[in-house]
């Protein structure tokens, strides 16, 4: 009888231990899910909202529907864009702006300039090392 009581106690302890490990595993899975899926999505949404907030008159934009145009007027929740050379104007919601083409092109130019400057500095450093006399002991 004593052995059956001990066996029951051991089984209950193993069951509690097993459920605790299962709970820890579930919490760990939620944390991993947060860092892999939810956090990057929130960062992207924040960046998109910031881009839409910072559009200016004269910026070239692309909508989620694929329409490309230049902003003519900015209102509270909408923008008016000019889409072609015959001055066809459309009013769209701000949430429909997918990309700010002008800002993207400007950013690319700045990145290329920074890269060129870095390459130039690297070349100067390399030349300076080549021209430096080697001292022998």
Q: Which CATH number is 123's domain given?
A: 2.30.30
> How much is the pLDDT for 129?
74
> Does the pLDDT at position 63 exceed 80?
yes
> Does the pLDDT at position 75 exceed 60?
yes
4 located within any domain = no
Global pTM? 0.58
Name residue, tokens 């004269």: 58
Average pLDDT in the 82-101 region? Answer: 92
> How much is the pLDDT for 104?
79
Distance in angstroms (rounded) separating the CA atoms of residues 95 and 73: 15
In terms of pLDDT, which residue wins out, 51 or 103?
51
Question: Residue 110 belongs to what domain range?
Answer: 54-131
Distance in angstroms (rounded) separating the CA atoms of residues 85 and 83: 7
> Does the pLDDT at position 6 exceed 80?
no
73 located within any domain = yes
Q: What mean pLDDT value characterizes the chain?
A: 84
Q: Domain count of the chain?
A: 1
> How much is the pLDDT for 83?
92
> How much is the pLDDT for 110?
82
> How much is the pLDDT for 91?
95
Tell me the backbone φ, ψ of residue 56, rounded to 5 degrees: -130, 160
């Amino acid at each position: 009888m004593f052995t059956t009581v001990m066996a029951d106690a051991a089984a209950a302890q193993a069951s509690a231990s097993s459920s605790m490990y299962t709970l820890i595993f579930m919490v760990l899975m939620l944390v991993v899910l947060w860092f892999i899926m939810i956090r990057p999505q929130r960062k992207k949404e924040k960046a998109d909202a910031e881009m839409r907030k910072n559009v200016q008159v004269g910026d070239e934009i692309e909508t989620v529907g694929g329409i490309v145009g230049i902003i003519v007027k900015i209102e509270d929740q909408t923008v008016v864009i000019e889409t072609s050379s015959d001055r066809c104007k459309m009013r769209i919601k701000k949430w429909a702006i997918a990309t700010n083409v002008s800002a993207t092109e400007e950013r690319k130019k700045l990145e290329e300039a920074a890269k060129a400057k870095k390459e130039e500095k690297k070349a100067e450093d390399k030349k300076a090392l080549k021209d430096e006399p080697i001292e022998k002991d």
